[in-house]
Amino acid sequence: MNSTRKPLIAGNWKMYKGGLAGVELASALKKVARDVPNVDMVIAPPFTVLAACAHEVEGSSIAIAAQNFYPKNEGAFTGEVSAPMLRDSGCTWVLVGHSERRQYFGETDASVAERTRVAIAAGLEPIVCVGETLAERETGQTIAVVNRQVSAFVNLLTHHAVIAYEPVWAIGTGKTAGPNEAEEVHMAIRAQLERRGLGMTTRILYGGSVKADNAAALLACPNVDGALVGGASLEASTFGAIARAAQGLVSSR
Ligand code: PGA
């Protein structure tokens, strides 16, 4: 972490906690948020509980993200949800281009760029996700792949936007990039941001099996500004421990 950027800990609930359990988790996280005044906390519940969670965390520092949206403002698109609808539901953030969307739902660099553009136009801050597959890492293409993914949208970003580096092989697998591996990729992303004048302000999160016991080491890297957490965001105790690890690093400066 770096003293000019406030750490951001985001929880991606994926397709879990879509009902009362989600509202209960949001409620429990309000207590955590009070303990971490120097950390931004964002949660990304499923669509079905976005508005309920937004209502639940009102008055706390927790912000709400959606996990996806359809990049048209309205229209005859049965089953889809627009960026303005997310705003109306209390979202201020949205995940864009998560690897599961790229892998299972046909998202490409072009569709990720389109969603980034539409999200920002609608007043949502995107957390745009990038990351290489295991095959790409093993063939030495990590930096080239991440640079290509970032270059598809970097010219659309504002100072508030966030990039999440999530190596696909580390997501949900219990394997994490070591701090040095993460820092190397974060530095490459930072260099691209610097060329756009966004290097100092843009937060770059690490994601992929972040847990309470590895969070501090990853967050200590100078170019790691927070974490995007999947599995460990589904319990207030484990997500809280990661947020507290970030707060501990800020406090020890
Ligand atoms: P994980 O998921 O923490 O369960 O690996 C991270 C993510 O997919 O954002």
Domains and CATH numbers, the chain: 8-251 (3.20.20.70)
Is residue 176 very low, low, confident or very high in pLDDT (cuts 50, 70, 90)?
A: confident
Per-residue model confidence (pLDDT) at position 155? 97
Single pTM value for the model: 0.97
Residues carrying an active site annotation: 98, 166
What span, in angstroms and rounded, lies between the C-alpha atoms of 157 and 120? 8
What span, in angstroms and rounded, lies between the C-alpha atoms of 64 and 46? 11
Q: What is the mean pLDDT of the chain?
A: 97
- Which whole number is the average pLDDT over 104-118? 98
Which atom number of ligand 1 is nearest to the Cα of residue 211? 3
- Which whole number is the average pLDDT over 99-117? 98
Q: Is 152 in the pocket of ligand 1 (CB under 6 A)?
A: no
What span, in angstroms and rounded, lies between the C-alpha atoms of 68 and 73? 14
Q: What is the pLDDT of residues 55-86, one digit of tens each?
A: 999 999 999 999 999 999 999 999 999 999 99
Q: What percentage of the chain exceeds 70 in pLDDT?
A: 100
Closest of 159, 207, 155 to residue 185, by C-alpha? 207
Q: Is 229 in the pocket of ligand 1 (CB under 6 A)?
A: yes
Q: What is the pLDDT of residues 228-240, one digit of tens each?
A: 999 999 999 999 9
Inform me whether the pLDDT recorded for 134 exceeds 90.
Answer: yes
- Which whole number is the average pLDDT over 124-153? 97
Cα→Cα distances 183→112, 138, 205, 224, 225, Å: 24, 18, 11, 7, 11
Pocket test of ligand 1: the residue of 210, 235, 242 to mutate, having most ligand atoms within 8 Å of its CB, is 210
Q: Which residues pair with 42 in a beta bridge?
A: 10, 63
Cα→Cα distances 118→45, 122, 129, 151, 228, Å: 20, 6, 16, 17, 22
Whose tokens are 């995107």? That residue is 126
Q: Is 176 in the pocket of ligand 1 (CB under 6 A)?
A: no
Inform me whether the pLDDT recorded for 3 exceeds 90.
Answer: no
Q: Is 171 in the pocket of ligand 1 (CB under 6 A)?
A: yes
The structure tokens listed for 231 are 């599995």
**Number of Cβ within a 10 Å radius of residue 32:** 22
C-beta separation of 44 from 58 below 8 A = no
Inform me whether the pLDDT recorded for 154 exceeds 90.
Answer: yes
